[in-house]
Amino acid sequence: MANGSDLRLSASKLDFAGALKDAALAALVAFGLFSLLLGFRTDSGPTGQLAAFPRPEMLAVAVAAVFAGRLIVALIARSHISDFAQSNLMRLIAAIAPAFEKFRRFALPALGLLAVIVYRYSGHEFRDLSILLLVFILLGWGLKPTLLAFALLMPVLFYSNRYFLDLGILVLTYIMLGWGLNIVVGLAGLLDLGYVAFYAVGAYSYALLAQTFGWSFWICLPVAGILASFWGILLGFPVLRLRGDYLAIVTLAFGEIIRLVIINWQSFTNGPNGISGIPRPSFFGIPFDSSDTGFAARFGLEFDPVHRIVFLFYLILALALLTNFVTLRLRRLPIGRAWEALREDEIACRSLGINTTNTKLTAFATGALFGGLAGSFFATRQGFISPESFVFMESALVLAIVVLGGMGSQLGVVIAAIAMIGGFEFFRQFEQFRMLVFGFAMVAIMVWRPRGLIATRTPSVFLNEKKIIPADIIDEARQ
């Protein structure tokens, strides 16, 4: 048990030399690792041939960074600061929680009152009211309704800021993909490395159907979903007998095969040039243009290209929420319970008479369905698709979002997608480091919190009282 006196004790005879030794060793290894790859730049030399140019400053910075990082980690590990902080943090949370509960009960009506007052006297700023409303919801009901309310209000709040709307659409697309993949990875425990294949099938289905037959988006959308789902079954049927990691590699191979076929089947898919001029979505038949029959004219509004963006935003929001709703509902059905049972222990599942192949297949098909719907949306939003958009990295990105958020956690996917897709948009100059950080984050999460950031799990089915199960108990039960 670490407490205050322990901390003082360990701080007084802190093993500084040992930590220094650790750090020096790490720096030595780092020097070996970085010596050639960071220490030299390869470029065309004066004669036009490739030559190596030393850049010792970069090597020095990298090694120094490793040294400093390892020193800090070693010092923290040697003192009991982390134990101390953790135990006190826990005590603090335990103390605050009931008080917060009381405050919430009091705060709800108080904030409602405040909202009315502010609205009355603030010059009727809609934005102020919305922000207040969000705080109100956050305190009253928690994070999930706040995120939902924010998503609903976003086009109104940022109507004049097209960049934010586009970013919102992008994040929502990844949230939808993450939720779709979460059915396969998080619920059924099948590692799918080729999820982007279904995204591609959906996108190409919409593009080709709309261009060849002139079908409208609302007909193509379900058709694309069904086609993707059909591919899911087709690909899933032979491979789902395989063990976890073999399955992962085979799905990866399928993802690559589909991409390579798209690239090489020029007469059908137009190959690497992609398909352009994909019809944009209409408001249930009414196009978003400046003509007399356009959306703006029909509803008596002034024409504004942002109308379409707002429509796209609500469209992907609705699709994403549909994914979430279906997932949450399915989890309560026997099939959803079978998925979760399958994830926990396949052999036990089979012993209980669950048909594992069918169970896996439905998970695969359902995940593929939502991937296909998201793909359709992607095609109509971009107006242009090419095989470039469906590379393995895209699968890895979606998988990273699911894994970082906590496999099986719906909220975790949202937070991870916002942090990873939205977060990096704010650090545009670090764009090229995005995948590097993703990779490190995947490793770090697996090492420190293998169950993901949101590592608690609410059981889908419960008796009388809903209890939240913390990750350590889940892992304990698995032993």
Partner 1 sequence: MDYFLQQLINGIVLGSIYGLVAIGYTMVYGIIGMINFAHGDIFMVGAFLALIAFLVLIAIGVTAIPLALFLVLIIAMLLAALYGWAVERFAYRPLRGSHRLAPLISAIGMSIVLQNYVQLAQGARVKPLPPLIPGGYTLIDNGGFVVQLSYVQIIIVVTTLILMTLFSWLVSATRLGRNMRACEQDLKMASLVGVDIDRTISLTFVIGAALAAVAGIMYLLYYGVIDFFIGFVAGVKAFTAAVLGGIGSLPGAMLGGLLIGLIETFWSAYFSAEYKDVAAFSILVLVLIFMPTGILGRPEVEKV
* 242 touches partner 1 by CB under 8 A: yes
Given a contact cutoff of 8 angstroms between Cβ atoms, the answer to whether 61 and 93 are in contact is no
Residue in 446, 461, 469, 473 binding partner 1, rule: CB under 8 A: 446
Select from 69-77, 108-116, 173-181, 433-441 the region that touches partner 1 (CB under 8 A): 433-441
Long-range contacts, 457-464 (Cβ 8 Å, 24+): 457/408, 457/409, 460/331, 460/332, 460/336, 460/337, 460/340, 461/332, 461/337
* 36 touches partner 1 by CB under 8 A: yes
Look up residue 319 and give its amino acid: L
Instruction: Report, in Å, the least distance between residue 165 CB and partner 1.
Output: 29
* 250 touches partner 1 by CB under 8 A: yes
Residue in 115, 392, 423, 460 binding partner 1, rule: CB under 8 A: 392
Residue in 37, 110, 234, 469 binding partner 1, rule: CB under 8 A: 37
Please say which residue, 330 or 407, places its beta carbon nearer to partner 1.
Answer: 407
- DSSP state letters, 45-103: -TTSSEEEEE-HHHHHHHHHHHHHHHHHHHHHHHSSHHHHHHHHHHHHHHHHHHHHHHH
Task: Using alpha carbons, list the distances in angstroms from residue 389 to 151, 200, 215, 272, 317.
Answer: 26, 8, 23, 11, 21
Look up residue 103 and give its amino acid: F
Enumerate residues 328-367 that contact partner 1 by CB under 8 A.
Answer: 347
Please say which residue, 41 or 127, places its beta carbon nearer to partner 1.
Answer: 41
Integer Cα distance of 220 and 222 in angstroms: 6
Integer Cα distance of 476 and 82 in angstroms: 23
Select from 26-34, 104-112, 116-124, 377-385 the region that touches partner 1 (CB under 8 A): 26-34
Instruction: Report, in Å, the least distance between residue 10 CB and partner 1.
Output: 24
Please say which residue, 74 or 317, places its beta carbon nearer to partner 1.
Answer: 74
Cα 275-276-281 angle, rounded to 5 deg: 110
* 49 touches partner 1 by CB under 8 A: yes
Interacting residues with partner 1 (CB under 8 A):
29, 32-33, 35-38, 40-43, 49-52, 189, 191, 193, 238-239, 241-242, 244-246, 248-250, 252-254, 256-257, 260-261, 263-264, 347, 392-393, 396, 399-400, 403, 407, 432-433, 435-436, 438-443, 446-447, 450, 475, 478
